[in-house]
C-alpha cells in the first residue's frame, strides 16, 4: 500500500474519530475531505490542491439540483404533515381495533403502525420518537410490562428505514447507481417479513409469560367505529403510495408529490370538519414546512459532504486498492460480505443511517463488486450467484437491514435512547432487555435473506 492509500486510510480513521466525538457528520466529511486532499497534495505533488478546490464552485449546486434527490424533501414533508395531522395516531388506534383484542395485541398494533408510519416518514429515528409518544402511554395504561412496551417500540421504529418509500433507499440507489424503483420493490417483501417476525416475537413472549400483557378491555362500539372510520383514509393514502411504487405504476418523485397533496387535502378536510386540534391548519402546515427545511438542509449538507469526501478517497486510490487487495488475497467472498455486514452493525450503533450509507458503501461495494466478478458479472460466473445489477439490489436490502439492527444493538442503539427519552421511570437496562428478542429475530432475517436472495429479488424480477 503506497503513501496515497495510507493517507486515505488515515483519513477514514480520522472521520470515524470525529463522528465518535459527536462532530456533525457533514462537517466531519468536509473537514476530512478538504484536509486529506491538502495532505495528498504534499505527499503526491502531482495531485494539486488548487484544481481540487475549484470543484466547489459547482459542487453544491450539482448536488442539490439533482432531480433524483428532489424526492427527499417531498417525502420528508409528507412525513411531517402526517405527524402534525395526527395520522400516526389514527393509524395506531385503527389497527389496535383490529388486533387489540389478542393477547399482546396492542403491542402488535404498535409494530404494524410503526411500519405504516415509517413507510411515509422514511426515518427510523422519527418513527421511534413519534410512535413512542403515541403508543407508549396506551401500553403503560393497559398494564403492559415496561420491557415489552419499550422494546416493541424501539424495534418497531427501526422498520422505517426499509419499507418504501424510504429516503435511505433513495440515497443508496444513487450511491451505487441502482434503480430507485427496483430498490423500493426489493424492500417490500423483506419489510413485511420483519413485521411478521416482530408480531410473532410478541405472540410467543406473551404466550410464555402472560403477565407481560394483560387482556385488553373491550372498546365501546362507537369508539371502534370511529377508529376504523379514521383508519380507512390513512390506509388508502399510504397504501396507494407503497403499492404504486412497488408495482412500478409511478416513479418516486410524482408519488411523493401526490402523497403531499393527499395528506394536505385530507388534513384540511379534518380541520374543516372537526375544528382545532384535528387535521391541518396554517400553524401546522407552517411548522411542517419549517421542520422539512431544517431536515432537508441537514441531509443535503450530508450529501455535499459525502461528495467532498468521495473526491478525497478517489484521489487517494484507497477504494480501488482495497478491491485489488481483496481480489489478490483470494479472500472468500462470503467471508468479506459477513465482515462488511458486521461493520455496518457496529457503525449503526453510533451513526445515523444516511451518514453510514454515504461513508461506508462507497468503500465496501466496489470490493464486493470486484469479488463478484466485476461490472459485467452474470449469475453463471459471479461469486454470489447474482449479476452485477442484482448484487446492488440484494446488498442494498441487506445493508439497510443490518443498519436497522445497529439501531437496537446493545449497548448504544440509537432507537433505544430515543424510546428511553420518552419513557420516564424506565431504566436503560429494561429497554435493552426488552429489545433483545427482536434483535435475535432480526439476525435470523439477515441469515434468511443471505440464504434466500430471492426474498429481496423476487418482486423486481417479476416486475
Q: Residue 150: which of 408, 349, 447, 443 has the closest Cα?
A: 408
pLDDT the model gives residue 197: 92
pLDDT the model gives residue 349: 66
Backbone phi and psi for residue 412, each to the nearest 5 degrees, phi listed first:
-135, 30
pLDDT the model gives residue 352: 67
Residues in the chain: 463
Whole-number Å distance between alpha carbons of 439 and 404 = 10
Neighbours of 427 (CB within 10 A): 13
Bond into 165 cis (ω within 30) = yes
Model confidence over 121-171: pLDDT tens digits? 666 777 777 777 888 888 888 888 888 888 888 888 888 777 777 777 888
CB contact at 8 A, 132 and 418? yes
14: exposed, middle or buried (C-beta count within 10 Å: 0-12, 13-18, 19+)? middle
Model confidence over 322-365: pLDDT tens digits? 767 766 667 778 888 888 888 887 776 666 677 777 777 877 88
pLDDT the model gives residue 312: 81
Q: Where exactly are the structural domains of the chain?
A: 68-294
Alpha carbon separation from 91 to 31, 50, 236, 368, 381 (Å, rounded): 43, 54, 11, 40, 47
User: Cα torsion at 377, 162, 65, 304 (round to 10°)?
Assistant: -80
Alpha-helix runs per DSSP H in 158-251: 167-176, 180-208, 221-246
CB contact at 8 A, 340 and 368? yes
pLDDT the model gives residue 51: 74
Whole-number Å distance between alpha carbons of 142 and 388 = 51
Per DSSP, 220 falls in state P
User: What's the sign of the alpha-carbon dihedral 50, 51, 57, 63?
Assistant: negative
Long-range contacts of 213-219 (CB under 8 A, 24+ apart): 213/103, 213/104, 213/106, 213/107, 213/143, 213/144, 213/145, 213/148, 214/142, 214/143, 214/144, 215/103, 216/100, 216/101, 216/105, 216/106, 216/142, 217/142, 218/101, 219/97, 219/100
- Residue the block writes with cell 480513521: 13
pLDDT tens sequence for the chain (463 residues): 577 778 878 888 888 788 777 788 788 888 888 888 888 888 777 777 777 777 777 777 877 777 777 777 888 888 888 888 888 788 888 888 888 778 888 888 888 888 877 777 666 777 777 777 888 888 888 888 888 888 888 888 888 777 777 777 888 888 888 888 888 888 888 888 888 999 999 999 988 888 888 887 777 788 888 888 888 888 887 777 777 766 667 777 787 788 888 888 888 888 888 777 778 888 888 998 998 888 888 878 888 888 888 778 777 777 767 767 766 667 778 888 888 888 887 776 666 677 777 777 877 888 888 877 777 777 767 777 788 888 888 988 888 888 878 778 766 667 777 788 777 777 878 888 888 888 888 889 989 998 888 888 888 888 7
pLDDT the model gives residue 357: 79
Backbone phi and psi for residue 314, each to the nearest 5 degrees, phi listed first:
-65, -40
Grid cell for residue 100:
387489540
Q: Looking only at Cα atoms, what is the longest distance across the chain?
A: 78
pLDDT the model gives residue 200: 92
**DSSP strand E in 336-407: where?**
none
- First and final C-alpha spacing in the chain: 44
Whole-number Å distance between alpha carbons of 109 and 25 = 35
Amino acid at each position: 500500500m503506497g503513501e496515497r492509500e495510507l493517507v486515505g486510510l488515515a483519513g477514514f480513521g480520522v472521520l470515524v474519530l470525529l463522528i465518535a466525538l459527536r462532530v456533525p457528520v457533514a462537517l466531519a466529511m468536509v473537514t476530512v475531505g478538504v484536509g486529506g486532499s491538502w495532505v495528498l497534495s504534499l505527499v503526491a505533488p502531482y495531485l494539486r490542491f488548487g484544481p481540487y478546490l475549484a470543484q466547489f464552485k459547482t459542487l453544491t449546486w450539482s448536488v442539490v439540483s439533482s432531480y433524483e434527490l428532489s424526492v427527499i424533501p417531498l417525502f420528508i414533508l409528507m412525513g411531517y404533515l402526517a405527524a402534525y395531522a395526527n395520522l400516526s395516531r389514527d393509524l395506531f388506534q385503527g389497527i389496535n381495533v383490529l388486533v387489540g383484542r389478542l393477547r399482546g395485541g396492542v403491542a402488535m398494533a404498535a409494530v404494524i403502525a410503526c411500519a405504516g408510519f415509517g413507510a411515509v416518514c422514511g426515518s427510523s429515528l422519527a418513527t421511534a420518537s413519534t410512535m413512542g409518544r403515541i403508543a407508549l402511554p396506551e401500553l403503560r395504561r393497559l398494564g403492559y410490562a415496561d420491557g415489552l412496551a419499550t422494546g416493541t417500540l424501539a424495534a418497531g421504529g427501526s422498520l422505517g428505514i426499509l419499507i418504501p418509500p424510504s429516503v435511505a433507499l433513495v440515497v443508496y440507489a444513487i450511491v451505487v447507481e441502482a434503480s430507485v424503483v427496483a430498490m423500493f420493490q426489493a424492500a417490500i417483501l423483506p419489510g413485511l417479513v420483519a413485521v411478521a417476525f416482530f408480531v410473532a416475537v410478541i405472540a410467543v413472549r406473551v404466550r410464555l409469560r402472560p403477565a407481560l400483557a394483560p387482556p385488553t378491555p373491550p372498546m365501546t362500539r362507537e369508539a371502534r367505529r370511529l377508529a376504523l372510520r379514521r383508519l380507512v383514509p390513512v390506509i388508502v393514502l399510504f397504501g396507494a403510495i407503497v403499492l404504486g411504487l412497488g408495482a412500478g405504476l409511478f416513479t418516486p418523485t410524482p408519488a411523493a408529490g401526490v402523497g403531499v397533496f393527499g395528506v394536505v387535502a385530507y388534513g384540511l378536510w379534518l380541520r374543516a370538519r372537526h375544528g382545532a386540534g384535528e387535521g391541518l391548519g396554517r400553524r401546522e402546515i407552517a411548522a411542517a414546512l419549517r421542520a422539512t427545511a431544517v431536515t432537508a438542509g441537514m441531509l443535503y449538507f450530508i450529501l455535499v459532504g459525502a461528495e467532498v469526501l468521495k473526491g478525497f478517497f478517489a484521489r487517494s486510490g484507497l477504494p480501488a486498492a482495497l478491491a485489488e487487495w481483496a481480489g489478490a488475497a483470494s479472500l472468500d467472498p462470503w467471508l468479506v460480505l459477513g465482515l462488511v455486514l458486521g461493520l455496518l452493525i457496529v457503525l449503526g450503533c453510533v451513526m445515523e443511517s444516511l451518514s453510514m450509507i454515504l461513508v461506508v458503501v462507497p468503500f465496501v461495494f466496489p470490493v464486493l463488486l470486484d469479488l463478484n466478478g466485476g461490472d459485467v458479472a452474470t449469475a453463471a460466473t459471479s461469486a454470489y450467484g447474482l449479476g452485477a445489477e442484482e448484487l446492488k439490489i440484494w446488498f442494498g436490502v441487506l445493508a439497510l437491514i443490518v443498519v436497522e439492527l445497529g439501531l437496537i444493538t446493545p449497548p448504544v442503539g440509537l432507537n433505544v435512547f430515543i424510546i428511553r427519552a420518552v419513557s420516564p421511570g424506565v431504566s436503560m437496562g429494561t429497554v435493552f432487555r426488552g429489545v433483545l428478542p427482536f434483535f435475535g429475530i432480526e439476525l435470523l432475517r439477515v441469515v434468511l435473506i443471505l440464504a434466500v436472495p430471492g426474498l429481496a429479488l423476487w418482486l423486481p424480477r417479476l416486475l
